[in-house]
Each structure stands twice: as structure tokens, then as C-alpha cells.
Amino acid sequence: MTELLFRVAREFDVVKIRRTKEAEEHIVLCQKEGKCLGCEEPLVEGERVTRGACGTCYNGMMHLISIGKVQEKDLMRDGKLLQPSKGGRKPANDFLKSLAEAAK
């Protein structure tokens, strides 16, 4: 018998948050005017926007989350960061598609 060791992807915790009314209004206004949810500067066309934030704000928020200065759920509650998309990379072929389907 062969013993194999491998790392299993951790399950994600599901966190439920409730956005404030101010946060909802902030998001609607920024999206309507094409502004970053963080710095509220106009988003530059062609520039990468992640979870409603410009690259600078998104990277800054992720850094501060990683060092424990802020919590992602607080940024989401305050309307500075949208929830992550469910997307991710689409299966490249039928084999990967069948694996992805089986995992649902």
C-alpha cells in the first residue's frame, strides 16, 4: 500500500453581512457615475476594475485585509467592495466540464 500526501483545498467559510442603506446608495451612485467604490475617482476605461474598485484601491484593500488591518466583511458592509463573482475560469474542455459538474 502506498501512502500519498496531498493538500486539499480548504472550504470557504460563508459569511453573511447586511449592507447599510448608505452603502447601497454609495454603490448605486458610484456605478451610475462610473466611479471607484473606494476612492470615488472616475474609473479609467480599459483599466481593470475588481469588485467595483480601481486597481489601486483593490490591491490596497487586499493588502490591508492580509495584514489584518481591515476585514473584508466590513469593507463589503460599507459598500467599498462588492462580493466576489462566482465565476472563475470556465472549464477548458469536456473532461474538465464533467468534473466541474460532478463537484456541484
Q: How far apart are CA 48 and CA 50, in angstroms?
A: 6
Distance set, CA 7 to CA 3, 4, 10 (Å): 13, 10, 9
Secondary structure E strands in 32-94: 49-50, 53-54
Least CB distance to Zn ion at residue 96 (A): 35
Least CB distance to Zn ion at residue 85 (A): 18
- Which stretches of the chain bind Zn ion, using CB under 5 A? 36, 38-39, 54, 57
Whose Cβ is closer to Zn ion: residue 54's or residue 81's?
54
Least CB distance to Zn ion at residue 76 (A): 16
Whose Cβ is closer to Zn ion: residue 57's or residue 76's?
57
User: Which amino acid appears at position 19 of this protein?
Assistant: R
Whose Cβ is closer to Zn ion: residue 57's or residue 81's?
57
- Cell numbers 462588492: residue: 82
